[in-house]
Amino acid sequence: MLALWGVKMEIIKVEGLKKYFPVQKSFLEVLFSKELQFIKAVDGVSFTVKKGEMLSLVGESGCGKTTVGRMLVGLEEPTEGRIYFKERDITSLRGEKRREIQRHIQIIFQDPYASLNPRMKIGEHITDPLLIHGIATNEEAKRMAIEMLERVGLVPGEQFYNRLPYQLSGGQRQRVAIARAMVLKPEFVVADEAVSMIDVSLRAAILNLLMSFKEEYNLSMLFITHDLSVAKLVGDRIAVMYLGKIVELGEVNEVIHKPKHPYTAALLSAVPSFEKRDLRVGIFGDVSNPIDLPPGCRYNPRCPFAKDECRKAEPELIGTDRHSFACHYPLDIVVE
């Protein structure tokens, strides 16, 4: 009924998601200090992804974006927070129930060399999910796998079916990873830096392939990347993460052309482009420390606009669906 009104359904909803990792201590540290320190990899992240929508999740290394993706597919258990799939709470699902949901939520990893089983035929990587979820029998599954291999550009499918991973190039392996994720016709796919390890001239092919699946299946996707150019290209909406929190979230063109958070603006200023804009928002320092978080806004040590308030209170994510941000003194700029 919602669809009749043109309101798109929420496929994924994440509320206050947190993941804390205990810090490994050396023997002496264990002896002499009692308190447990945590790396707050993900520290309260909330967003939704609607049907047919692509959300780009961007941030530099260590910001927690990969951990968010892993929690969504069940590879990591949230320390706190809720994950909803089609309005159903799946946060603590395990075993058989989890598997039922698993077929609708898939992931494509960054490293095409490590994500395939060296001792398993290419085709079997694709039939496996089908067999696991009882969608097809052996013969059927093989047929579907060959079809899917050709769909992702690995022709002839029969030949590729029988090959082993070491016989394929990086780009080809990534296509296999995509085939594996898509064969189940999932509703939601997480792409974790899916093209970062692919040669530049081949990235367009992989990105276009992903986009074609998105169109064909009306997929919802979470595209995790550190590359803002790619994020903007593929995303309908974009979320910018910094040290475990989302600092800005909204429609791609809104965020890119009217950045509110100084970090977003700093990123935009630094991204190389053939047509660089006259945006020059700076940032102090090279790195941020995820263990020793400063009081107040965690971005304040690096922010050129930090004021008193920023060192006292953490800003909340406020705004509309179209554009929200977490900053006490948001910028007011427009980039043409």
Partner 1 sequence: MMSLLEIRNLSTYYHSRRGVLRAVDMVSLSLDEREFVGIVGESGCGKSTLAFSIMRLIQPPGEIVEGEIIFSGKNLLELNDEEMRRVRGKEIGMVFQDPMTSLDPLEKIGDQIVETIQMHEDIGKKEALEKARELLESVGLPGNRVNYYPHQLSGGQRQRVMIALAIALNPTLLIADEPTTALDVIVQEKIMNILKKMTSEGRSIILITHDFSLAAEKSDRIVIMYAGWIVEMGDSKKLVNDPLHPYTKGLLESVPDLWLERRIKTMPGLPPDLVNPPPGCKFHPRCPKAMDVCRKEEPPEVQVNGRFVKCWLYGV
Partner 2 sequence: MQVKNLATKIFRPIIPEAEGRNMVIAGMIIVAIVLFMAIFADIISPYDPTKLAGKPLSPPSAQNLMGTDNLGRDVFSRVIYGSRIVLMVVFSASLVSMSIGVPIGLISGYFGGKLDRAISMIMDSMYAFPSLILAIAIAAVLGPSVVNAVVAISVVYVPTYFRMTRGQTLSLKSRLFVEAARAAGAGNLRIMRRYIFPNLVTTVIVVFSLSIADAILTEAGLSFLGFIVTAPTPDWGFDLSSGRPYLPSGYWWMITFPGAMVMILALGFALIGEGLSELYAPGRER
The contact set with partner 1 (CB under 8 A) reads 60-61, 169, 171, 199-205, 207-208, 226-230, 232-233, 256, 266-277, 283, 286-287
Contact 293, 270 (CB under 8 A): no
Q: Which residues bind partner 2 (CB under 8 A)?
A: 73-75, 99, 102-103, 106-107, 109, 111, 113-120, 124, 128-129, 132-133, 165-166, 177, 180, 184
Nearer to partner 1 by Cβ, of 145 and 195: the residue is 195
Among partner 1, partner 2, none, partner that 273 touches (CB below 5 to 8 angstroms by kind): partner 1
Among partner 1, partner 2, none, partner that 166 touches (CB below 5 to 8 angstroms by kind): partner 2
Burial class (CB in 10 A: 0-12, 13-18, 19+), 187: buried
Nearer to partner 1 by Cβ, of 55 and 256: the residue is 256
296-304 long-range Cβ contacts below 8 angstroms, 24+ apart = 297/326, 297/327, 297/328, 298/242, 298/243, 298/244, 298/245, 299/242, 299/243, 299/247, 299/261, 299/262, 299/263, 302/263, 303/262, 303/263, 304/262
What's the CA angle centered on 313, arms 311 and 315, to 5 degrees? 110
Nearer to partner 1 by Cβ, of 6 and 272: the residue is 272
Output the smallest distance, CB 250 to partner 1, in A. Answer: 16
Nearer to partner 1 by Cβ, of 64 and 74: the residue is 64
Contact 306, 266 (CB under 8 A): no
Nearer to partner 2 by Cβ, of 115 and 220: the residue is 115
Q: Please give the backbone phi and psi of residue 164, each rounded to the nearest 5 degrees, phi first.
A: -105, 155
CA-closest candidate to residue 188, choices 126, 123, 108: 108
Among partner 2, partner 1, none, partner that 202 touches (CB below 5 to 8 angstroms by kind): partner 1
Output the smallest distance, CB 269 to partner 1, in A. Answer: 7
Indicate the pairing of strand 220-225 with strand 188-192: parallel
| Cα torsion angle, 157, 159, 165, 166, sign | negative
Among partner 1, partner 2, none, partner that 284 touches (CB below 5 to 8 angstroms by kind): none
How many Å apart are CA 222 and CA 230, to the nearest integer?
A: 13
Among partner 1, partner 2, none, partner that 232 touches (CB below 5 to 8 angstroms by kind): partner 1
Nearer to partner 2 by Cβ, of 107 and 256: the residue is 107
Among partner 1, partner 2, none, partner that 276 touches (CB below 5 to 8 angstroms by kind): partner 1
Output the smallest distance, CB 123 to partner 1, in A. Answer: 22
Nearer to partner 2 by Cβ, of 86 and 121: the residue is 121
Contact 136, 130 (CB under 8 A): yes
What's the CA angle centered on 22, arms 20 and 24, to 5 degrees? 150
Among partner 1, partner 2, none, partner that 229 touches (CB below 5 to 8 angstroms by kind): partner 1
